[in-house]
Structure 1
């Protein structure tokens, strides 16, 4: 837990300021940012500058970082809310506030306090002492403090817009142990029971609105795919001056080389000379074509520009389709 993110009145006000009213796209602000002051001291937090979202996404662990990159790669994803507050009080379905979606009758959220009470684990719900309405002349009273999810992914499927809640740990065993607190508490029966209760509250909270919760760890998906997407993401926002009428021609050259002995670097050098382009710019086009899925190769094996391209044997989107399911 970061120095400035422990439950407190000021922390509650900060979260509410960032998360209410709900924002979308470039305007979204996560509850916790991957800064020295807020990210857990033991984490390896990072920022991902997303071109299509127009903002930096905040990952609090390498596992979150790689899954955020996968969500950014996925063609059906239209928004991502990382480190999102779980409302303590009743609230409309998250998609009801989207500015461009057509109105629908969607189930609402009852809030984490009502869920915890229904599950018989209200004692697990955090609280803080606050001055009513921010009036410091009035005595403080205890109010609920919100839980925070990892990644809420918004996507389109055959039935329209939907959302799925990804909760992420380094291992599946970590879902049974609290991340914070004393060492004795983390390994005690009560500590593990409290952790299970917190996950149950989160799951039921979203289940009320028809939003599934999926538990994910780095071991749940292919390591080479993680590394390849990480590499491609570094290129996805790079600029180039290749004319639009030449782009498809260049991509077609790379497409025709898949499954042959031709190496991408050889093709890139030829293209750069033919069109009087910088070799770097051709490399940008090459990597962005793979990222945008215009150039389909085997992403379950490491790929390099000085090695022939292997044809796609399995679509990374279809392989993990179960991560994008309705509740």
Structure 2
């Protein structure tokens, strides 16, 4: 079967743009929690990642989320991502409901987390907030609060668009355990019971709309790959000032260097002397070409521009392909 991500980078970019800007589909999303003071958990690091192509800032609320986020962003068929999203308390529709590529297809709906919690017998574990009465602060009622998810990925394959949920924790086996915001002294039986119940509610919710949950932790990604992807993406924020034909020429020279063992720094310094192209722009073109896969190099090895770059022998997306299966 044809593999979408084996298509040319240009074709994948065109397909991403088409899927993301499909008429009649509203992809607007506001994160339930942002990586800002008084919002992000104070017990862990929080990160804001600006994504130029998606036109948004993505919030990662822990270092594991931050590291694994870049593997998701590197996937060539990712056309949108909802970060720190809220599960609907009441019945609702699939996130891709109304997408024109699914016209004629019945997208499933869900019952909402309240109904699911009731049927699972775990209503006491559903998040809630006490709303005091405006007349008497001692009186009031409980209001359900939404459960939250880490990253909802929007991708496409030969069958069309689909979604995945990346559920990320700091270590293997922690997905049904209380999070770091629950201090050790309070991680008793009740906290563990609530965490397990929430996992079951979210799993059932996503099962009802046919979205696969991918349970991840940092130990599942190669450390060098994680470092390289973080580094490369930082160069994607600003477009190169070189003209397209100049970039093509430079990329061709980098490709020759990969083949004959010439370090990128030597190519950059030669072009700076010959054409007057700034070294910074040379580095930008290099790193952007690697991120967009116009240059295929070994991302399981450190990227050092004063050393030869090795040709790709293991494709990162192929290595983690099982994460992205619908």
Q: What range describes the TM-score normalised by the shorter chain of this pair? A: 0.7 to 0.9
Consecutive unaligned residues of structure 2, counting only runs of 5 or more, are 1-24
Q: Quick check: 1:77 aligned with 2:87?
A: no
1:176-220 superposed Cα distances (whole Å, 9 cap, x missing partner): 42124453431x333323212111111111111000111111101
Identify the residue that residue 159 of structure 1 maps to in structure 2. 159
Offset of residue 50 of structure 1: 0.5
Figure out how many residues of one structure are paired with residues of the other and give that number: 298
Q: Quick check: 1:119 aligned with 2:120?
A: yes
Q: Give me the whole-angstrom Cα distance separating, in 2, the residues matched to 1:259 and 1:311.
A: 7
Q: Give me the whole-angstrom Cα distance separating, in 1, the residues matched to 2:168 and 2:141.
A: 33
Q: Quick check: 1:301 aligned with 2:301?
A: yes
Q: Give me the whole-angstrom Cα distance separating, in 1, the residues matched to 2:115 and 2:265.
A: 59
Identify the residue that residue 59 of structure 1 maps to in structure 2. 60
Q: Give me the whole-angstrom Cα distance separating, in 2, the residues matched to 1:196 and 1:264.
A: 50
Does the CA-based 8 Å contact 1:260-1:309 persist in structure 2? no
Identify the residue that residue 234 of structure 2 maps to in structure 1. 234
Q: Give me the whole-angstrom Cα distance separating, in 1, the residues matched to 2:238 and 2:297.
A: 21
Offset of residue 273 of structure 1: 2.5
Q: Give me the whole-angstrom Cα distance separating, in 2, the residues matched to 1:165 and 1:192.
A: 22
Does the CA-based 8 Å contact 1:264-1:309 persist in structure 2? yes
Identify the residue that residue 247 of structure 1 maps to in structure 2. 247
Consecutive unaligned residues of structure 1, counting only runs of 5 or more, are 1-21
Offset of residue 318 of structure 1: 1.3
- 1:158-237 equivalent positions in 2, closer than 5 A: 158-179=158-179, 180-181=181-182, 183-186=184-187, 188-237=188-237
| Stretch of structure 1 that moved more, 188-197 or 116-125 | 188-197
| Stretch of structure 1 that moved more, 57-66 or 220-229 | 57-66
Does the CA-based 8 Å contact 1:164-1:213 persist in structure 2? yes
Q: Report SS of the residue matched to 2:153.
A: strand
1:29-69 superposed Cα distances (whole Å, 9 cap, x missing partner): 20000011101011110110111111211110111112222
Q: Quick check: 1:257 aligned with 2:257?
A: yes
Does the CA-based 8 Å contact 1:111-1:205 persist in structure 2? yes
Q: Quick check: 1:278 aligned with 2:312?
A: no
Identify the residue that residue 19 of structure 1 maps to in structure 2. none
Q: Report SS of the residue matched to 2:130.
A: strand
Q: Report SS of the residue matched to 2:48.
A: strand
Offset of residue 262 of structure 1: 0.9
RMSD: 2.0
Identify the residue that residue 13 of structure 1 maps to in structure 2. none
TM-score in terms of structure 2 length = 0.86
Q: Report SS of the residue matched to 1:162.
A: strand
Identify the residue that residue 140 of structure 2 maps to in structure 1. 140
| Stretch of structure 1 that moved more, 27-36 or 307-316 | 27-36
CA 1:237/1:181 → structure 2, altered by over 3 Å: closer, same or farther?
A: closer
Q: Give me the whole-angstrom Cα distance separating, in 2, the residues matched to 1:137 and 1:116.
A: 31
| Stretch of structure 1 that moved more, 249-258 or 38-47 | 249-258
Identify the residue that residue 68 of structure 1 maps to in structure 2. 69
Offset of residue 136 of structure 1: 4.3
Q: Give me the whole-angstrom Cα distance separating, in 1, the residues matched to 2:302 and 2:147.
A: 38
Identify the residue that residue 317 of structure 1 maps to in structure 2. 317
CA 1:294/1:243 → structure 2, altered by over 3 Å: closer, same or farther?
A: same
Identify the residue that residue 14 of structure 1 maps to in structure 2. none
| Stretch of structure 1 that moved more, 31-40 or 256-265 | 256-265
CA 1:294/1:183 → structure 2, altered by over 3 Å: closer, same or farther?
A: same
| Stretch of structure 1 that moved more, 291-300 or 120-129 | 120-129
TM-score in terms of structure 1 length = 0.86
